[in-house]
A and B are shown apart, each in its own frame.
Chain A
Amino acid sequence: MNRRTFLKDAIVVITGAALPAAALEWLDPRQVLAENPQIRWAFLVDTHKCAGCGFCVKACKAENDIPYEASVTRTWIERYVVTQSGELLADSPQGGRDGFTSGSIDLPGGTRVSEEEIIRGFFVPKLCNHCASPPCVQVCPVGATYATPQGVVLVDRQWCIGCGYCIMGCPYGARFFHPVHKSVDKCTLCTHRLTRGDASACVEACPFGARQVGNLHDPNDPVTRAVVSERIGVLRDSYGSRPRVYYLGLSKEVH
């Protein structure tokens, strides 16, 4: 193994470890990553940890130029509650961008459940699942959305005609029309951060460690280890989309 290939391999293993780029200035890390198929990004959400503060949504909107006041968002938090009568309810006011500051639930259309009626609740952060078989990509008529070799589903803003078929095709509601660019928009997993060795903005922002991004091809990555050793779930896998956002503590109520 010569110095170059050693470094190449090393860089893959320590992608998340933010190696100072200066030490490798003769080797563009981005180029290495692009050439290297040994990366398959995956996301891990620990629902036990999520406190519903909404910092992830706030950070995502700032990092990715999604107007804060617009109701659309690349990632959002859902709150599920069980009432005394055993009824299951969920809400996600403005995607949870301002956190969940009220114990009661006000749903659009006038349904209100007061705090006293609720016996239990929990939060589930959601985002694009970066599916291995993305139904949204399959239905794009012009090839404006695609899965990268590293497993990130992206939208080409310059090629999207805005037909909305991918929005219809996504079983998770992860896509929307960008209020400014008019093309379809969705989570990019902060691929611009990942290539620089940083974690996604929502991951950095989460104070509770409920979100992690990692490389499935690296056996020592915490995400990979969790996926292999923990009891994990994914959302709506009956659609055959093979999602790559894994959840710890997913309960049957979560849809």
Chain B
Amino acid sequence: MKCQECDKQAVFHITELETGEVRELHLCEDHARTYLNQSESAEGDDDEKASGGGLTGPLTVGQTADELALLDKKACPMCGITFFEFRNQGRLGCPHDYVHFEKELEPLIANIHGAAQHTGRKPQRPQADEGSQLSEGSQLPEGTEELTTVIGLRRSMQEAIACEDYEQAREVRDGIRGIEDRWLPDAARDPGSPPAGPPTS
């Protein structure tokens, strides 16, 4: 892809998020530097800008094109999205991205919201039915990290099936069921499935 300001190769793909609108920029290194310098100095003395919050401003500070290229290839192990894809689309791939890309996202989020810690409501966890296997001691944690690993497990199950490694696929499937049973105690299962047992070790 060419730089939108000149004929050189575009190496910076910048996604600006302003007031819910996504604007994409494709720039060569020189034009990217000019652009980022402009937006930084604009942020310094223009308080209106503070509310909009560019997605890339803090991200690019002190990062060379090489470092960025490396970062761009970093992929989420659950959904497979790369940081490059996120920067292009302005949309994340799955809940785990907030953990996997935390270091990169933190300055962006702090810039957008002027804060980096949630202080609002917490979810009401799905209640286990009476008589379900969920014992009183096994309280679900606040964060849903464990349940989100199902996204990655589903992918490895598909891969195992594709390699005709059915033993492996079964094991992964049991792992998925174990997690889902903890989190979705009254899950509506496919009619044909056997009742879920405890996770296989």
A and B are interacting partners: no
